[in-house]
Amino acid sequence: MRWNLLVFIGFLGFVYGQPYKLTGNWTGILTDSSQGFTKAFPVILQLKGVNGHATGIFRVETADGFSQYEVSGDYTSKKHFVLQSALKPLMQTKNMALNSFDFTFHFQDSSEYVTGIFHSLGCPFHQLNLYLERDDLAYTLEKNLLFSTTNVLAMAHRIQLGVPAKSKRLKELANFKFQPVYFAVDSYKIDSSYFSYLARLTRLLNSNSDLRLKIIGHTDADGSVEYNLELSKNRSNALFQHLQSLGISSDRMLFEFEGESQPVGSNDSELGKQRNRRVEFVFI
């Protein structure tokens, strides 16, 4: 299982390390993010960019139906330009109210979301905030409804938390490296120097809801076997409680404790003992 995960993460690093591409599927939401995300509607943009001209189809869904328009716009930068819809929709259900529109396609390097303000006078989507992220799934736009309320609310929640787009999250996962948390002699208090690292680990877990974390405590060989087993348990639990306080649900973590049984350094030297007084992490 662990080997398969490492291979998968390596693959992600290859795929999502590729240069930015405009052409493809972008899915997301229209939302009133400045007013607490009380509204959120799923959208998809199928886009193609060639020689400074972008063309595609933009679709908005509600519980009552959907509307989709051809869109187009010229660009000098693939990361910032305006898309304008046709005057009439390609397809629209009778209960859907969407007039012609335009929006800015602005790709943010920091989050890898596309953001913009949606302009469509006289319709309920006017002035809503647009968030899009790259999506490699295949979609058939003739289908009635493509997206669930659950997916829409989940994306709105991620944006509220400051979680980046899927492409960015996968890059962060591929590049993330675990580091042990070391402890002082006979202690299970977490040194504050590790807080920034644990915050990054928390963000990674929040960004990848399918990941779970194993926390494994260890000690040096000083003291009895029984005492060291209990000390390693306390060290694991300290990390478990700290990550839980940062917002990681307890059902996404488990902790184990090995006492002195798995040294990584020699217990005959102070440096070796220091390396053995640790907690390690593994994705499961």
Mean pLDDT by 10 residues, the chain (284 residues): 45 54 96 86 96 97 93 97 97 90 97 97 94 93 86 90 89 92 98 96 88 97 98 98 96 97 97 98 94
* Distance of alpha carbon 11 from the chain centroid: 17
Nearest to 110 by CA among 79, 83, 82, 75: 79
Rounded Cα gap, residues 194 and 75, in angstroms: 45
Q: Which residues on neighbouring strands pair with residue 195, listed in sequence order?
A: none
Query: To which H or E segment does residue 170 belong?
Result: helix 166-175
Q: Give the DSSP per-residue string, 58-78.
A: EEEEETTEEEEEEEEEE-SBT
Contacts of 108 (CB under 8 A, 6+ apart): 114, 115
The two beta strands, 114-119 and 129-135, are antiparallel
pTM for the complete prediction? Answer: 0.74
Q: Are 204 and 191 in contact (CB under 8 A)?
A: no
Instruction: Give the pLDDT of residue 8.
Output: 44
At residue 56, the 3 state secondary structure works out as strand
Instruction: Give the pLDDT of residue 16.
Output: 47
Q: Are 55 and 69 in contact (CB under 8 A)?
A: no
Q: Is 232 exposed, middle or buried (0-12, 13-18, 19+ CB in 10 A)?
A: buried
Instruction: Give the pLDDT of residue 128.
Output: 96
Domains of the chain: 20-163 (2.40.128.120), 176-283 (3.30.1330.60)
At residue 106, the 3 state secondary structure works out as strand
Rounded Cα gap, residues 249 and 252, in angstroms: 6
Place of tokens 């290859």: 14
Return contacts of 42-46, CB within 8 angstroms, 24+ apart: 42/146, 42/147, 42/151, 42/152, 43/130, 43/132, 44/135, 44/139, 44/141, 44/146, 44/147, 45/71, 45/83, 45/132, 46/139, 46/141
Query: What are 147's two structure tokens?
Result: 């997206």
Query: To which H or E segment does residue 40 belong?
Result: strand 40-50
Rounded Cα gap, residues 58 and 36, in angstroms: 25
Q: Are 211 and 252 in contact (CB under 8 A)?
A: yes
* Distance of alpha carbon 44 from the chain centroid: 19
